[in-house]
Chain A
Amino acid sequence: MTAIADRYLERVVCPAKHRGLTDRADYLVRLTRERQAQGVIFFLLKFCDPHAFDYPYLKEALDREGVPSLLLEVEDRLPADGQLRTRFEAFVEMIQ
């Protein structure tokens, strides 16, 4: 039981819950640095309000770090294969 509770308390913060004002941006920036990621893709599920509210400040935090990002808004069904591929390829080209 304690382990389950700890997991809920210590996992990466879900945006629907409140823990500090910049925790999620701090985490994202830290992770980007640790893994030396050259870009971040935001996979935003339409109508998930908590994520949508966090997107602008998360993007801003990445911009400050000079890390480019791509926003992909998807509905419960993914868009056609080719469409996603084109966007990913364009993003990767931009990074290179």
Chain B
Amino acid sequence: MAEKDEAKEKRKIKTVAKMKEIMTAYYIDAKTAGQTGKKVAWITSGGPVEPLIAMDVIPVYPENHGAMVGASKMGADLCGKAEAMGYSSDLCSYARADIACAPINGGPIGGLPRPDMLVCCNNICGTVMKWYEVQARFFKVPLFILDTPVCHTGFSAEAKRYVKGQINEYIAFLEKACGKRFDYDRIKEVGRLSVQGQRLWQEILDTAMNRPAPISAFDAFFHLALIVTLRGTQQTVDYYKMLLAEMRERVAAGIGAVPREKYRLLWDNLPVWYRTKWLSEKFASQDACLVADTYTSAWCGALRYVDENDFLGTMAECHTRIYLNIGVDVMARQVMEMADKYDVDGIVMHSNRSCKPYSFGQYDIQRIIREQKGLPTLMIEADMVDERNFSEGQIETRIDAFIEVLKGKN
């Protein structure tokens, strides 16, 4: 820790305070919805949130809550409670933590606000469907499931028709649950703001193409919250404009996310929420910066398929062709494109016990990358929320060994 406080202070991202303010206001708004008469919908992280915004429904993300549970190191306790309720310890720790929180208002914010409806899109996994069934029985509220078939390489006409039909059913579901007509003019505006937010988020992530990278994946894990939860609002657009401006200033001033960036790495899979600080410091101490990741970039991946002048019309494709809903070879190709774009020296893969669709196929992706790019990869076995699955000694040894490999290559 020879580094001077001044340099450390300079490296801190200033907009963080604003972000905390926005998220606190958002959760207060959601928690007091019962008094203000607003409706609350729980929605999965890959679900279409924009129609909810257009209907003035407050979207709440149990997965974002799961991340908070993990970051607060309450995961093991809550997961243990779910196991006592009969849920297997092999199940997703976000789901276990959330299911355990509901009856006791547990967790870091005393439980999520009661939902009026549940919106579940299975583009990210089949787990969310079972999880939302559990919560629909518990809260006795209507559940909408948007079923997005896996599209290995392309997007067939049948799949398109199937999912598009469900978008119309989703709107009918919302009209019934809210007792009012859907506002087709408003969704155009919300859609435009959503696309604008996604573009800004992509631009922010792209500032990491600079050397040194002004932002690391660990920063992105934090700043991601708005593009997930409040996508389609002016507030999100304004915030990301501010963050982008700060990143550009950092690039101009040569301020990096880590003090001495020597190795540039790409992170794959969800964060290890209860150990982000430890991991971030561990990599920084070895002069390694995680300059990109497949996780936070997933919230701008739809930019490939979106038409902002036909937002509803392209919604089906945007939500079906996402990173976790495509074939492993296409995933590998996308990872390699990112590796080129951000000019990385190696790849860090988190084999996440909780997230089977994300972790299944990682060994194949690792092999494809090694064969086609010759890039070294590190596999860390852990869990995003349940800290009982984190072995510090083992992971530290693996990171050190991996850095040695990188040193040998440079």
Contacts and interface: CB of A to CB of B under 8 A. Distances in A.
B134 A49 contact: no
Interface string A25-55: 0000000000000000000101101101111
A73 interface: yes
B143 A21 contact: yes
Contact of B126 (A44, A49, A54, A55): A49
B86 A21 contact: no
B136 interface: yes
Nearest to B143: A21
A21 B138 CA distance: 10
A21 B137 contact: yes
A7 interface: no
Given A16-B126, A18-B129, A21-B143, A53 B134 contact: yes
A63 B126 CA distance: 27
A22 to B, nearest CB: 7
A35 B335 CA distance: 54
B90 A49 contact: yes
Contacts, number: 47
A15 interface: yes
A15 B131 CA distance: 12
B51 to A, nearest CB: 20
Contacts of B18: none
A21 B147 CA distance: 16
Contacts of A47: 90
A88 interface: no
Interface residues of A, number: 18
A21 B136 CA distance: 8
A52 B133 contact: no
Interface string B81-119: 000011110111001000000000000000000000000
Interface in B174-196: none
B356 interface: yes
B244 to A, nearest CB: 39
B90 A53 contact: no
Contact of B134 (A46, A57, A73): A57
A25 to B, nearest CB: 9
Nearest to B137: A21
A59 B133 contact: no
B137 A22 contact: yes
Contacts of B90: 46-47, 49, 52
Contacts of A46: 88, 90
A24 to B, nearest CB: 10
A79 interface: no
B356 to A, nearest CB: 7
A50 B137 contact: no
A53 B86 contact: no
A49 B86 contact: no
Nearest to A54: B130
Interface in A51-83: 52-57, 59, 73
Contacts of B85: 56
Nearest to B138: A57
Contact of A18 (B86, B87, B88, B145): B145
A82 B127 CA distance: 35
Instruction: Point out which of A47, A55, A56, A73 has the most chain B C-beta atoms below 10 A from its C-beta.
Output: A56
Contacts of B88: 44, 46, 52, 55, 73
A53 B87 CA distance: 6
B129 A49 contact: no
A46 B90 CA distance: 8
A15 B133 CA distance: 11
B91 A49 contact: yes
A59 B86 CA distance: 9
Nearest to B356: A49
A56 B138 CA distance: 12
A50 B128 CA distance: 10
A-B pairs, 5 with minimum CB distance = A56-B86, A53-B130, A52-B88, A21-B137, A18-B145
20 contacts: A16-B126, A18-B129, A18-B133, A21-B137, A21-B143, A44-B88, A46-B88, A49-B126, A49-B127, A49-B356, A50-B126, A50-B130, A52-B90, A53-B130, A53-B133, A55-B86, A55-B87, A55-B88, A56-B86, A73-B88
Interface of B: 85-88, 90-92, 95, 126-127, 129-131, 133-134, 136-137, 143, 145, 147, 356
Given A47-B90, A50-B130, A55-B86, 7 more contacts: A18-B129, A46-B90, A49-B92, A53-B130, A55-B88, A57-B134, A59-B86
